[in-house]
Structure 1
């Protein structure tokens, strides 16, 4: 992700031209000019504590019955957790809820119900470093204890159960706090009138990620649904193929996750991005290249096997993800929690609290703060691969590659051409094995995608039919560098070319605007002792100001010219024009 000044993209009328003259650009219609929230060149740092002292209440609201729609079981669970909020402040405070994932529930031994053991494992306490920070900035944060669900769905025979139970538990907690806000009670009269539940954010980790994803649909089916508008799915499972629509949604999948090693968060992102026509909310895919599964939760970080990568790689010697490998690419627990704080806190402070300081990162335009870089300074955007899928009204799809027709015709009805490739086609991977695109197994994105291989200069061309692009700010495409091709080992690069109907052509180099075009690191994934190497699809976002000199009111074609390296293979999807100041 490269830095660029968004406000320049809002004056594309200075870059376009009419069809009669290439020299007089003054007649091009002006694009929309809503205010540009981006004024900084590095994303605002969320790590600093706010001005409020933090109050906390641990609560126990009794028991409820939850259902397992996978096997028909039902059982009771505690309605237990804590809420942190600004002390001695009037509010109302925006509400965020956290849900941990599947983990052991008792330090005394596996299989002991947490209600019956002397030392329950407090997984719900593992995100205090985030909840305290948010509360100090004026938010009320609920963290839910889901140990009773883990007691009932964690046996190997139960497979992917528990998603509905977790969704029911989340909604019940929100119901209780809605009642407390209205009338007090349950020992929390101090919170009456202090909770702003007009827009609610929810975060779930691991199975909790799948739980909050399922909460979106379950909540909408209730007689009095809550207005959940932001969902952060942290290293989620996706056994139930969740579609997360009509909310601001981010799915984070750590490249070195040894528990959800197939990066199922990418699956949820792929499934959700075009699921609902006219979806007014953006979607995000986020891949931290050095992150494992457990370190985001401080309780799990201190357990007997905190580095879940060793589940796959018992020797820990994978050259990228193995902590015992010299020069590995891993994040320390401290660094991973610093990034967890930045991503989760900034997401909710922007999309729930509407703090515009955090727009710059989530608009996909500015580097991460140096505090989450290994050297503490940065830049390090090659370690955090963010893909942005703008709301429907701010997105014009050139080619979503959702159909084999993409080999000949794009979404606009324009022709598609492949010139000089040794092979090309369309494929879709099948989820957990990552198979289905033979050019790179595994590929852990399930989007339908094009693959293209070349051993001489080659060009992909998509006709734009006189497209007027003045409403948009970036040209985006998601690209995977196929690890099955040794010609990619030094990474890949290519030119992106815009052409207008007067024949003006301007090119931009992809690597100037993306840090994600490197060869996937690590030992082979399906090695006898698992490696980390897998291909993912990541964004190349080029500001339209990079193409100054073409007539943005009358575009003829976009090309991807593979002329920077002698040979290689890539996979692509989501060729779109976007506005990103949503």
Structure 2
């Protein structure tokens, strides 16, 4: 598997660069592994690691000299070298003739916690900055890299959040650019934005035992391109059985790392994914799989080596260099025609129960795909919005008699004669394996059954019903050569037929397919970015705030987005808006409706927008904000006692009252306080002993205002009063009048400014 070239390593550390929204700069570090004496210009492969701890303290407690990331790690800490964790893959690729660089993103990892997109935009910018550096070196006659690189042949490899980062970099790359991307390889990637770079071949590796991105979000990079546009570029998902999230990076692997590392699968005793399970890959085996499939994808993309296509196109193949690892593929793209199961077109016969399910896991709808399974088990069907994008549904089919069929009645005859295979992606329920074949019907109502490769046997994935037993679409394939008795140029119905006596499956789609890379220069989709808007609330009922968006690229087909709007104060979804984008659009607005009332809201109400593509468009900055500035006065606040005096044995009652309701909650910090009442202040001994001992062991003779007692209170939005009762003890001693004083600091939640202070005191008669 190694290539003919010797390899050599080097590193560079450039001046750190600022990144929008981050107070600290971002490092520009790269680890280079290159071939020695490789002739001509060489393709470039760039690696980006994911989110891991950024710093560690050496075991001896001190660093050797000042930290190279001292602004981040402090004088005694050192950066975890996550970017060195792919050196084993870099060396293999360099031996095959590729120039490779792995870049560091520790500063982003340390600061992305407060970015709504999880740092995706910052990672995209970091990747593009490094590619800009390499493009400049390739153009510079004074550089050792002058004309040594194929900057029109670049492959990006991203792990975890690095996977989402390189995908976003592909979307954000301007056209024309100083480089051209030939493909993307994503390892256990996140996909918070449901964004996909169209026109760029992509392989997404899904570790079955991923304990970090355990919902296998990387499946979205295949499904989203299907839902948004017809993209001829290969989009393949690889289910890597027995692999966890971390062990693809040696710096995240115990026993190999310098800093902190761990096995991310949470249950060491799990019979499928526990560290002692025979089904788990060892550290060495997992790296072998990583090398094999990353190098295979890079060669497929950068060199167009079609002999490697069966590793990624749904074929049932084994690769010797990956050992005995079980790696399964399912893909979309290539030369294909898709047939989608829509509710109005579904057919069923022979006792099959067929219906359309909603493309959600645990959705409120009765017909959620996956029968309400945990989102961790349903990579095709994300959680309910606004946590994720719209997702296409599927055809659910159950049967209890062999020969039952379910499928799609086509609106018009479809010509399948030019395709080598008929394929389907089929999700098998947990209960049992199934056997399936295809049934085709032509315009003359003639039918033919078409047997599937391997007898059409599909087996459920192993594991428990919470986080394993994944409901993942497996490839079902049948060659069309030799099919006779029907007219393949006029197919009107495509169905699955149950060969097994019973079964339960979900059909994602049918496809007529030729397993070849289509030479194409697809036009990238126009890209939408969402902005921010602000306006004064006003009053008088429902009002609208227009949030702007801009479009980069040409809208040549009608396009649309789905935008979810949340009120940040209560995290409730207030709107789901379909935004249609006509041809030629360069900018527009998203209307956000709100209630313009006369109730105090604090400084402003923030509405959070999340935009996801529906058709013929992609997003870059997919998150926006709408700020409605409150113009209503704060209600007056009064702290008083319920009665002027109370007797020993009865509680001292303090009540906060607002002059009118507010739409923001108030946080209240309460303490005893001294007051000028002309009588002694009560002590801890004057209060209920059990109540006192629940918060302090101070002497009972301690005056209340000097005690450590305090309490937090909360006045919910819409409420106008809050009462506190302090239990006063009947002690049987003649003491005369005493008092209990209070001092409350009252602040509207999430509103800047000094709290308001209110005082009150209650007289206690003996």
* Deviation of the 1:546 alpha carbon: 6.2
Distance 1:546 1:140, change over 3 A: farther
Mapped partners of 1:60, 1:164: distance in 2: 22
Q: Contact 1:418/1:461 (CA < 8 Å) preserved in 2?
A: no
Give the stretch that moved more between structures: 85-94 or 545-554: 545-554
Q: Does 1:355 align with 2:305?
A: yes
Distance 1:117 1:545, change over 3 A: farther
Q: Which residue of 1 aligns with 2:416?
A: 469
Q: Contact 2:222/2:332 (CA < 8 Å) preserved in 1?
A: no
Mapped partners of 1:232, 1:569: distance in 2: 33
Distance 1:462 1:438, change over 3 A: closer
Q: Does 1:182 align with 2:139?
A: yes
Mapped partners of 1:329, 1:237: distance in 2: 24
Which one of the candidate residues 460, 483, 505 is aligned to 1:519? 460
Structure with bigger strand share is 2
Q: Does 1:533 align with 2:446?
A: no
Distance 1:354 1:495, change over 3 A: closer
* Deviation of the 1:562 alpha carbon: 1.6
Give the stretch that moved more between structures: 240-249 or 337-346: 240-249
Which one of the candidate residues 422, 425, 435 is aligned to 2:356? 425
Give the stretch that moved more between structures: 203-212 or 262-271: 262-271
* Deviation of the 1:56 alpha carbon: 2.0
Which one of the candidate residues 230, 250, 262 is aligned to 1:306? 262
Mapped partners of 2:302, 2:311: distance in 1: 15
Q: Which residue of 2 aligns with 1:384?
A: 327
Matches within 5 A, 1:454-465: 454-457=399-402, 458-464=404-410, 465=412
Q: Does 1:574 align with 2:509?
A: yes
Matches within 5 A, 1:271-282: 271-277=224-230, 279-282=231-234
Cα deviation 1:93-118 (Å, max 9, x = unaligned): 01111000011122318998347455
The CA RMSD measured in Å over matched residues stands at 2.8
Q: Name the TM-score, length of structure 2 as normaliser.
A: 0.59
* Deviation of the 1:204 alpha carbon: 0.4
* Deviation of the 1:49 alpha carbon: 1.1
Mapped partners of 1:497, 1:473: distance in 2: 16
Distance 1:121 1:93, change over 3 A: same
Q: Which residue of 2 aligns with 1:331?
A: 281
Distance 1:273 1:117, change over 3 A: farther
Distance 1:461 1:356, change over 3 A: closer
Matches within 5 A, 1:8-87: 48-67=1-20, 72-73=21-22, 75-87=24-36
* Deviation of the 1:241 alpha carbon: 2.0
Q: Which residue of 1 aligns with 2:248?
A: 296
Mapped partners of 2:201, 2:135: distance in 1: 22
Distance 1:563 1:270, change over 3 A: same
Q: Which residue of 1 aligns with 2:95?
A: 136
Q: Which residue of 2 aligns with 1:97?
A: 46
Cα deviation 1:122-165 (Å, max 9, x = unaligned): 11111111111111111111111111111212x5x657521010
Cα deviation 1:64-120 (Å, max 9, x = unaligned): 1122xxxx4454111111222211233200111100001112231899834745542
Q: Name the TM-score, length of structure 1 as normaliser.
A: 0.77
Q: Contact 1:508/1:547 (CA < 8 Å) preserved in 2?
A: yes
Which one of the candidate residues 235, 253, 276 is aligned to 2:188? 235
Bigger RCO of structures 1 and 2 (CA < 8 A, at least 6 apart) = 1
Q: Does 1:439 align with 2:371?
A: yes
Q: Which residue of 1 aligns with 2:699?
A: none
Distance 1:494 1:514, change over 3 A: closer
- Please state whether the residue corresponding to 2:481 is helix, strand or coil: helix
* Deviation of the 1:214 alpha carbon: 0.8
Q: Which residue of 2 aligns with 1:9?
A: none
Mapped partners of 2:76, 2:48: distance in 1: 22
* Deviation of the 1:507 alpha carbon: 2.7
Give the stretch that moved more between structures: 426-435 or 444-453: 426-435
Q: Contact 1:114/1:147 (CA < 8 Å) preserved in 2?
A: no
Structure with bigger helix share is 1
Mark the structure with the bigger radius of gyration: 2
Matches within 5 A, 1:135-174: 135-153=94-112, 155=113, 160-174=117-131
Q: Which residue of 1 aligns with 2:449?
A: 507
Mapped partners of 2:364, 2:307: distance in 1: 40
* Deviation of the 1:300 alpha carbon: 0.8
Mapped partners of 1:78, 1:432: distance in 2: 42
Q: Which residue of 2 aligns with 1:219?
A: 173
Mapped partners of 1:504, 1:60: distance in 2: 68
Mapped partners of 2:355, 2:206: distance in 1: 28
Gaps of 5+ in 2: 62-68, 382-391, 518-766
Distance 1:546 1:118, change over 3 A: farther
Distance 1:324 1:236, change over 3 A: same
Q: Contact 2:222/2:237 (CA < 8 Å) preserved in 1?
A: yes
- Please state whether the residue corresponding to 2:18 is helix, strand or coil: strand
* Deviation of the 1:505 alpha carbon: 4.1
Cα deviation 1:201-252 (Å, max 9, x = unaligned): 101000101101111111137x735311311111011112222211101222
Q: Contact 2:460/2:469 (CA < 8 Å) preserved in 1?
A: no
Cα deviation 1:13-70 (Å, max 9, x = unaligned): xxxxxxxxxxxxxxxxxxxxxxxxxxxxxxxxxxx21111112220112111122xxx
* Deviation of the 1:286 alpha carbon: 1.4
Q: Does 1:284 align with 2:240?
A: no
* Deviation of the 1:419 alpha carbon: 4.9
Mapped partners of 2:218, 2:100: distance in 1: 23
Q: Which residue of 1 aligns with 2:146?
A: 192
Q: Contact 1:253/1:286 (CA < 8 Å) preserved in 2?
A: yes
Mapped partners of 1:559, 1:437: distance in 2: 19
Mapped partners of 1:266, 1:300: distance in 2: 23
* Deviation of the 1:497 alpha carbon: 2.0
* Deviation of the 1:418 alpha carbon: 5.0
* Deviation of the 1:171 alpha carbon: 0.3
- Please state whether the residue corresponding to 1:445 is helix, strand or coil: coil
Distance 1:495 1:280, change over 3 A: closer
Q: Does 1:106 align with 2:55?
A: yes
